[in-house]
């Protein structure tokens, strides 16, 4: 695995959970917050943590922010600080800046000043919950475009102990199986002889309507 250097600015609930996951995955993570208590609290979940106000150029220079592969701006309610921080990071030439937006207007400003990826945690989580309710067998998904998704779908019992050839999923449902997840192991590009077992997850690609139909089979 390539070890990457991440910095997470703003150590609230969102920032800490991003930082902790990246650190647990083996990457170097620097946590930054202007609030000393937050920095002390996060110290065991990151490689290193510092107190700094990231709206100050000098602070960013002394941290050496240019050397990070990716910086996540997880500043919460202080929109002005979030915008100023993203602007400075882009001016410093940080390659990948990910920023959390409070809403549409904040997001539009972040986009204009060059944030590479804007996250709307509340909106995105709301959509996830609704999608999960609409398709109970769908456990996870990636949006490829407005039309196409990759989804991880728990196989319906009616499909257990049959081969992919017998199931003929592409012809019947217009979606393609790209992998099977079985007890945590991934079988990539499964052959048509592969038998599907109870509890398997199918990773399928297709358009959303076809996927919705497929993930609602009993
Ligand atoms: P959440 O909703 O994810 O819990 P919060 O608003 O509680 O988010 O957390 C945002 C964090 O960002 C706070 O800990 C705050 O101290 C930090 N923060 C705000 N402005 C700055 C700044 N200019 N520089 C560094 N950290 C900042």
Is residue 136 over pLDDT 80? no
Nearest-angstrom CA–CA distance, 38 and 117: 25
Whether 54 lines ligand 1, by a CB cut-off of 6 Å, is yes
Nearest-angstrom CA–CA distance, 147 and 203: 17
* Cα 14 to ligand 1 centre (Å): 9
Token pair 């076809």 is found at 210
Is residue 109 over pLDDT 80? yes
Whether 76 lines ligand 1, by a CB cut-off of 6 Å, is yes
Contact of 13 with 42, CB cutoff 8 Å: no
Q: Which of 133, 134, 156 lies closest to 204 in space, CA to CA?
A: 156
Domain boundaries, the chain: 5-133, 136-215
Tell me the mean pLDDT in the region 199-207.
Answer: 95
Whether 114 lines ligand 1, by a CB cut-off of 6 Å, is no
Whether 108 lines ligand 1, by a CB cut-off of 6 Å, is no
Helix residue ranges per DSSP H, 135-186: 164-167, 169-173
Query: 41-60, pLDDT tens digit by residue?
Result: 999 899 999 999 999 999 99
Is residue 135 over pLDDT 80? no
| Phi, psi of 46, rounded to the nearest 5 degrees | -140, 170
* Cα 52 to ligand 1 centre (Å): 11
* Cα 10 to ligand 1 centre (Å): 4
How far are the Cα atoms of 70, 102, 121, 204 from residue 173, in angstroms, in the given order? Answer: 39, 38, 32, 11
CATH class of segment(s) 5-133: alpha beta
CATH class of segment(s) 136-215: alpha beta
How high does pLDDT run on average in the chain? 94
Whether 82 lines ligand 1, by a CB cut-off of 6 Å, is no
CA–centroid distance for 113 within its chain: 22
ipTM exceeding 0.90? yes
Ligand 1 atom with minimal separation from the 53 CA: 24
* Cα 79 to ligand 1 centre (Å): 10
Helix (H) or strand (E) holding 196: strand 195-196
Query: 158-197, pLDDT tens digit by residue?
Result: 999 999 999 999 999 999 999 999 998 999 999 999 999 9
């Amino acid at each position: 695995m390539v070890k990457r250097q991440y910095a997470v600015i703003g150590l609230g609930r969102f920032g800490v959970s991003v930082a902790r996951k990246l650190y647990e995955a083996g990457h170097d993570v620097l946590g930054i917050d202007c609030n000393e208590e937050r920095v002390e609290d996060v110290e065991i979940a990151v490689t290193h943590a510092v107190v700094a106000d990231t709206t100050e150029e000098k602070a960013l220079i002394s941290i050496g922010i240019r050397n990070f592969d990716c910086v996540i701006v997880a500043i919460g309610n202080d929109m002005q600080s979030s915008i100023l921080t993203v602007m400075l990071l882009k001016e410093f030439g940080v390659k990948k800046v990910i920023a959390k937006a409070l809403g549409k207007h904040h997001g539009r400003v972040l986009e204009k000043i060059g944030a590479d990826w804007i996250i709307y945690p509340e909106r995105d989580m709301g959509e996830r919950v609704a999608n999960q309710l609409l398709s109970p067998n769908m456990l996870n998904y990636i949006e490829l475009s407005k039309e196409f998704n990759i989804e991880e779908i728990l196989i319906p019992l009616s499909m257990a102990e049959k081969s992919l050839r017998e199931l003929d999923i592409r012809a019947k449902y217009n979606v393609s199986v790209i992998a099977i997840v079985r007890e945590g192991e991934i079988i990539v590009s499964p052959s048509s002889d592969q038998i599907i077992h109870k509890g398997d997850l199918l990773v399928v690609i297709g358009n959303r309507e076809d996927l919705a139909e497929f993930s609602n089979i009993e």
